[in-house]
Every structure is written in C-alpha cells, then in structure tokens.
Amino acid sequence: MSGAGHDRCGRGPAGLSDLTGLGQSDLVVLMIARYFFQSFAQPEAEGWLRAISGAEQVMGREAGPHVVCAVLRSVQQMRAARRNHFNFSNPDCPGCAARLCGHERLFLNTFRAVRRGRIADAEAHAMLLCEGNATEGLIVAMGDLCAALPSAPVRPSVERQPLH
C-alpha cells in the first residue's frame, strides 16, 4: 500500500473534489478504509486509532466499532487477494483526501454494488480490485459491512451508479 505524502505531496489546493456525489455511508467507509490503508503503509502513523475515533464520532459508540471491524475485514480480504501495491489518498492531507485514487474507486464501487444488491457488478469491480484473484471473501465481507451500516441497508437499486 502506498499513499501520498502529507505536507510534501506537492499537489497544491484540492480544487474540485472527486468525492462529489458520494453518500454519507460511502464517505464513512472511505474515511475508515483510508486510515486502515495508512496503518498498513505507515504503521507508525497509527491510522487505525483515527479510524475508530472517526467512526465513533460519525456513527456513535454503538454502531461505530461494528462498522470499523467490518471495514477492516473487507480491507483484509482485499489485501489477501491482491499482489501489487494499493494506492490511496492520504486521509490527513485535505488536498489529497479530496481525491479518489483508482484503487479506492474500485473498493467503493464494490461496496456500492453489494449495497445495491448488484452482485454481478460487485464481482466485476472486485475482480479488477483483486487483480483477477479470488473475490468471494471480499464480496462476503462487503455484505457484512453493508449489514453493519445502519444507514446503508442491502437493497437492490433501479439504476447503476458506478463512480467515474
């Protein structure tokens, strides 16, 4: 896993956000996942602590820890399947955090497709995310994540809304 640097990222001001159009559940999952990505890329940053505290702030002390564990299980399933680096935006840099990396987009598209009950779409996104390796564990973990999110029940969607 590799993320952009904080103060020295050189990207400048964020400008338009890549996060426009994401719902609150998407943003919460992305925030938690990014802090776990950071924890694996830079253990000394202890991003997992901010994942927990951020989830509790947004979701409360009851739901927050369940969602954090569900996101971690999804991240771990992805990590077990992938062979190459996972690129993510630095959650501690406002400019970087406003941008969605391609790998993060695939992670969120998998989550969103599972949440909408569009398993074939989820499998397609997961296949790309997992680099052609087994995706079953990730799909199951994403289903558990959807169930843990009180504001994101697993439901079919009339329209397909991937992130572009």
pTM of the model: 0.83
List all residues 6 or more positions away from 132 whose beta carbon is below 8 Å from its beta carbon. none
Using pLDDT thresholds of 50, 70 and 90, give the confidence band for residue 7: low
Within-domain flag for 35: yes
Residue 139 lies in a domain: yes
- Residue 111's nearest CA partner among 149, 82, 81, 84 is 149
CA pair distance 2, 92, nearest whole angstrom: 14
What pLDDT, in 10s, does the model give residues 31-84?
A: 999 999 999 999 999 999 999 999 999 988 999 999 999 999 999 999 999 999
pLDDT, position 150: 80
91 is a domain residue = yes
Does any domain span residue 10?
A: no
| 163 domain residue, yes or no | no
Question: By C-alpha distance, which of 101, 72, 84, 75 is closest to 9?
Answer: 101
| pLDDT score for 6 | 46
Determine the pLDDT at residue 18.
80
> Distance between CA 3 and CA 96 in Å, rounded?
9
Rounded Cα distance between 72 and 4, Å, is 21
> In this predicted model, what pLDDT tens digit does every residue of 129-161 receive, in sequence order?
999 999 999 999 999 999 999 864 433 433 334
Say how many domains are in the chain: 1
Domain assignment present for residue 27? The answer is: yes
Residue 15, in any domain of the structure? no
In angstroms, rounded to a whole number, what is the distance separating the alpha carbons of residues 151 and 59? 10
Instruction: Give phi and psi for 2, each to the nearest 5.
Output: -145, 140
141 belongs to a structural domain: yes
